């Protein structure tokens, strides 16, 4: 653990050498001033105070000189403390900010398949408490390094003063280091467990809060509270175990310097009687042991926090070292105008599971609308994800304008295609912010144009502040259909050449949905549209229908052709129609 912890500290020092140097210089100067202060105190008592008692008086000039010396030392110590804390604090917060950004960037670069395997609460813990824990020892680190400089100087000073008293220091300092090593060995598993439980509590809490609507409507408040309490209690017990060990360790660390001071006084009194040392030297050594107690604790603080630091660092590194990145090429898809999307013998499975798509082949011609139709679990949403390259197929090829998707640059792919998913996500921002996402070239005119295409300009106009209206977290102030139209407008604002709609208008009135699709087909420059559709009216608007069963394309053609010639398709589409009719009747 000590070796792993020192590696973490080494990485931190390598990342911020200038700030670390400032902190260490300030701490080293502080340590040397502590030693100098001990000699000043010893000299004043031996050469001023004791003679004053013997003579019954002292001069005003001597007292002024003593005051000036102490004032000068105090000013220097204040400056050294400022330098130490400035370097350490700035270094710690810069490292935390840097790694929080690094973790977040890594999250954004990893594919959805990786995120699906990790709880959101755990990911939040990685970016927050784990990063913070990794660099907790940075605050006392320069102080600890400066303390080592001080200890070396103190041992030299002790031997120059009296070798017998120096042996006490030689015995004391290894004992302090040894105690820290033992402490680290026992503390390590406790800190690791506590850090793991922090992540677990965060994950459970996030899941409960995110599913608050389900919890409330299903009357599961007490059950969720009990589930949460189990992990909270385990975290509490882990932290108590950490505190219990620290409670035993801290008093022992406090007592060792005091024992050293007592030993120095006993030995010093004996050496003083023999005339081996003077009063000034005894006072210097005793005072030195007294003031060393606090700085030496800094070493304990660093060593004591290493287990927690290692636990946080390794969890952060697990994110930064995660694999599964999608690699991009250097090609740029031809344009402008609607794009051609081609699936050619595509197979796909989630992980080691069974094939979700098997030998899928179809084409979305430029400027045409193709509807994907199939029962639940037939692979429609998977095709939508593959079309915009959220994931790559296991075999086969997907191309845009004849260029394989992996060969495209990332900007080329994201500017040419857009996906509007089943579940709309709205940021806690204004309507304008949700549409433009601060993309270059998207002004209010572009926002209103996208809103009109999405049939959303009507309700946005009626909002209190129009485009400046804040919609709340996840768009809570909007209805489901309004959120869907807002996310559709977001996709349209970028003027994609391929638009993929994954049941993106399910919460919209059928007449509004028909108006949306009609406006999309008739808009300037146009776009090729791949739409996952359930409603018969929506399907009928498509130029071509691709019918899926259990991950395979079993038929393709116009809606009218499939309705007349394919029994499975006809049963499914009419089932959707009947379900919609029943829904209208019951409402």
Whole-angstrom distance, CA of residue 361 vs CA of residue 347: 10
User: What values do phi and psi take at 409, rounded to 5?
Assistant: -70, 160
> What is the DSSP code (8-state) at residue 137?
G
Q: Are 64 and 120 in contact (CB under 8 A)?
A: no
Q: Are 315 and 329 in contact (CB under 8 A)?
A: no
Which strands, in side-by-side order, build the sheet including 395-400? 355-364, 341-349, 395-400, 403-404
- Identify the burial level of 178 via C-beta atoms within 10 angstroms of its C-beta, where 0-12 means exposed, 13-18 middle and 19 or more buried: exposed
Omega within 30 of 0 (cis) for the link into 41: no
Residue 136 to residue 131: CA distance in whole angstroms:
9
- Site of tokens 């060593």: 303
What does each C-alpha distance from 236 to 5, 241, 561 come to in angstroms?
Answer: 25, 9, 65
CA end-to-end distance (rounded Å), the chain: 64
* Contact criterion met (CB below 8 Å) for 312 and 134: yes
Cα 337 from Cα 343, distance rounded (Å) = 20
Q: Within 13 Å of residue 119, how many CA atoms lie on the same side as its CB?
A: 14
Q: Give the model's pLDDT for residue 582.
A: 56
With a CB cutoff of 8 Å and minimum separation 6, the contacts of 95 are 12, 15, 16, 135, 138
- Looking at the domain covering 341-423+498-586, what would its CATH class be? alpha beta
Cα–Cα dist 180/193, whole Å? 20
- E-assigned strands of 457-532? 498-502, 528-532
- What are the extents of the domains in the chain? 2-320, 341-423+498-586
* Structure tokens belonging to residue 346: 């595509």
Taking alpha carbons only, the member of 52, 40, 121 closest to residue 77 is 40
- Long-range residue pairs from 458-464, CB within 8 A, at least 24 positions apart, any chain: 459/485, 460/431, 463/431
Longest CA–CA separation in the chain, Å: 124
Helices (H) and strands (E) in the chain, counts: 22, 10
CA atoms of 362 and 556, how far apart (whole Å): 8
pLDDT attached to residue 507: 66
H/E segment holding residue 348: strand 341-349
Q: What share of the chain is helix, strand, coil (3-state, %, to 5)?
A: 70, 10, 20
For helices 60-109 and 279-320, the axis angle rounded to 10 degrees is 10
Q: What is the pLDDT of residue 525?
A: 44
Task: Give residue 524's pLDDT.
Answer: 53
Count Cβ neighbours within 10 Å for each residue of 7-16 and write b for 16 or more, e otherwise.
Answer: ebbeebbeeb
370 near 521, Cβ under 8 Å? no
396 exposure class (CB count in 10 Å sphere: 0-12, 13-18, 19+): middle
The number of angstroms, rounded, from the C-alpha of 577 to the middle of its chain's C-alpha atoms is 46
Task: Count CA atoms within 13 Å of residue 138 on its CB side.
Answer: 31
**For residues 390 and 424, what is the distance between their CA atoms, to the nearest angstrom?**
16
Tell me the C-alpha distance between 259 and 281, whole Å.
19
CA 338 to chain centre: 38
- DSSP per-residue letters across 81-96: HHHHHHHHHHHHHHHH
3-state secondary structure of 446: helix
Q: What is the pLDDT of residue 521?
A: 67
Place of tokens 């129009």: 466
Q: Point out the residues of the chain with pLDDT beneath 70.
A: 46, 50, 53-58, 169, 173, 177, 180, 184, 206, 210, 212-218, 254, 257, 290-297, 300, 506-507, 521-525, 576-587
Q: Which residues pair with 347 in a beta bridge?
A: 395
For residue 397, what are the CA distances in angstroms to 7, 348, 360, 381?
A: 45, 11, 10, 17
- Whole-angstrom Cα distance, residue 23 to residue 29? 10
CA distances from 514 to 59, 114, 374, 509 (A): 102, 36, 20, 9
Q: What is the spatial distance between Cα 399 and Cα 392, in angstroms, rounded to a whole number?
A: 11
Assigned token pair, 564? 């007349």
> Cα Rg for the chain, rounded, in angstroms?
36
Q: Which CATH superfamily is domain 2-320 in?
A: ABC transporter type 1, transmembrane domain (1.20.1560.10)
In 3D, which of 166, 521, 97, 110 has the Cα closest to residue 322?
110
pLDDT (0 to 100) of residue 69: 81
Report angle CA 406, 410, 413 to the nearest 5 degrees.
75
Query: Token pair for residue 224?
Result: 């969720």
């Amino acid at each position: 653990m000590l070796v792993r912890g020192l590696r973490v500290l080494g990485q931190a020092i390598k990342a911020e050498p200038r700030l670390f140097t400032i902190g260490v210089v300030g701490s080293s100067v502080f340590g040397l001033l502590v030693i100098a202060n001990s000699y000043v105190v010893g000299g004043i008592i031996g050469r001023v105070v004791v003679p004053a008692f013997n003579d019954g008086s002292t001069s005003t000039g001597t007292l002024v000189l003593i005051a000036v010396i102490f004032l000068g030392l105090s000013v220097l110590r204040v400056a050294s403390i400022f330098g130490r804390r400035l370097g350490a604090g700035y270094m710690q917060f810069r490292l935390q900010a840097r790694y929080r950004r690094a973790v977040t960037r890594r999250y954004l670069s990893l594919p959805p398949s990786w995120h699906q395997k990790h709880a959101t609460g755990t990911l939040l813990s990685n970016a927050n408490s784990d990063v913070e824990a990794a660099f907790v020892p940075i605050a006392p680190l320069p102080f600890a390094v400066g303390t080592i400089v001080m200890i070396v100087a103190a041992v030299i000073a002790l031997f120059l003063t009296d070798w017998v008293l120096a042996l006490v220091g030689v015995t004391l300092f290894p004992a302090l280091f040894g105690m820290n090593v033992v402490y680290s060995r026992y503390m390590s598993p406790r800190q690791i467990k506590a850090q793991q439980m922090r992540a677990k509590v965060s994950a459970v809490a996030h899941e409960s809060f995110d599913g608050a609507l389900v919890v409330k409507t299903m009357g599961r408040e007490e059950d969720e509270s009990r589930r949460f309490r189990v992990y909270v209690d385990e975290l509490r017990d882990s932290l108590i175990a950490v505190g219990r060990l620290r409670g035993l360790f801290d008093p022992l660390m406090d007592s060792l310097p005091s024992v050293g001071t007592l030993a120095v006084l006993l030995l010093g009194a004996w050496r003083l009687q023999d005339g081996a040392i003077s009063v000034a030297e005894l006072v210097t050594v005793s005072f030195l042991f007294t003031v060393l107690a606090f700085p030496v604790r800094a070493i304990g603080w660093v060593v004591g926090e290493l287990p927690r630091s290692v636990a946080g660092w390794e969890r952060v590194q697990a994110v930064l070292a995660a694999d599964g990145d999608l690699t991009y090429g250097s090609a740029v898809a031809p344009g402008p105008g609607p794009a051609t999307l081609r699936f050619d013998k595509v197979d796909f499975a989630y992980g080691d599971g069974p094939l979700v798509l098997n030998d899928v082949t179809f084409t979305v011609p430029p400027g045409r609308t193709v509807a994907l139709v199939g029962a639940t679990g037939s692979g429609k949403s998977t095709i939508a994800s593959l079309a915009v390259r959220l994931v790559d197929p296991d075999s086969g090829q997907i191309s845009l304008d004849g260029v394989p998707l992996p060969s495209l640059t990332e900007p080329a792919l994201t500017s040419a295609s857009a996906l509007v998913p089943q579940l709309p996500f709205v940021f806690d921002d204004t309507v304008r912010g949700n549409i433009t996402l601060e993309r270059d070239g998207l002004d209010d005119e572009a926002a209103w144009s996208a809103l009109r295409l999405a049939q959303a300009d009507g309700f946005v106009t009626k909002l209190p502040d129009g485009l400046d209206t804040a919609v709340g977290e996840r768009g809570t102030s909007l209805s489901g259909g309004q959120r869907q139209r807002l996310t559709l407008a977001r996709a349209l604002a970028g003027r994609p050449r391929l638009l993929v709609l994954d049941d993106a208008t399910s919460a919209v009135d059928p007449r509004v949905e028909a108006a949306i699709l009609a406006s999309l087909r008739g808009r300037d420059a146009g776009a090729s549209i791949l739409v996952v559709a359930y409603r018969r009216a929506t399907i009928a608007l498509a130029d071509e229908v691709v019918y899926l069963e259990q991950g395979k394309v079993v038929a393709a053609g116009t809606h009218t052709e499939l309705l007349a010639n394919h029994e499975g398709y006809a049963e499914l589409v009419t089932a959707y129609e009947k379900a919609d009719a029943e829904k209208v009747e019951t409402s």
